[in-house]
Amino acid sequence: MLKPHEDAYGQMICDYFHGKHPVEICERDDGLIQTSGGAPNYFAEFKDWPAHQRRAMQFVRGRVLDVGCGAGRCCLYLQARGHQVTGIDVSPLAIETCRVRGVKDARVLPFTRVSRRLGMLDTILMMGNNFGLLGGRQRGRWLLRRLRALTSPEARIIAETRDVHQTDDPDHLSYMRWNRRRGRMPGQIRLRVRYGRRRTPWFDYLMVAKPELESLLKNTGWQVEHYIDSNGPMYVAVIRKSGTR
């Protein structure tokens, strides 16, 4: 759980909800600083979502865990369609905003602490690039095996990520080379979010091309069912349980 001085992400969400126009700053561990699309994306109505995200909702089944639920856009959409949805996030202010907006079950809970206490799950939703919360190869494979044990036999993971190799930006290309020299996955980004005087702790956020995703899934009990592509590097993987682990 983020402490108040660390909850840059949640404060940004809260401020946007109350009519301000915040800017989210992402700082990478090589010194690169960029702004993101930020708060408007976290509050977008379904009709305004990118087409690949809208198509992904067709594959949601049963009881849903929304990992990194942010301001609750996916939770609210799925609730309205009769799904039982639990949204989790490490940001107390994001979860507070979710509850005020009408999310029925929103909890401050790190992804690594998801357990059987949540009950049996049918869909693990990781939208908005939140496949990145797997962090890296070792932690990611551990989390995938953990999710297998917490989900129903026909469960799916619906995960959005980015093919980081679809770039000609020299800053990104040099960062991927640096990652390889450090024994990290090319798209394993170490970053923190800054807003005003608040800043999150440093954390790893993983982005993968399709072959890297499939390699990560091997021997975890999951396999790709199919992909939903966008018109750019973003895509959604619909992942189902496999017969072996």
CATH number at residue 219: 3.40.50.150
State the pLDDT at residue 38.
Answer: 80
What domain count does the chain have? 1
Mean pLDDT of 31-45: 93
Which helix H or strand E contains 166, and what residues bound it? none
Instruction: Provide the mean pLDDT of the chain.
Output: 96
Residue 40 maps to a domain: no
Question: Containing domain of residue 93, as a range?
Answer: 46-186+206-241
Q: Is the pLDDT of residue 70 over 80?
A: yes
pLDDT digits (tens, 9 = 90+) for 198-220: 999 999 999 999 999 999 999 99
Reported as a pLDDT band with limits 50, 70 and 90, residue 245 is low
Q: What is the pTM of this model?
A: 0.96
- Quote the percentage of the chain above a pLDDT of 70: 99
Residue 96 maps to a domain: yes
- CA separation for the pair 38, 128 (Å, rounded): 11
Residue 149: HSE in the Cβ half-sphere, 13 Å Cα cutoff = 9
Residue 90 maps to a domain: yes
> 């690594």: which residue's tokens?
112
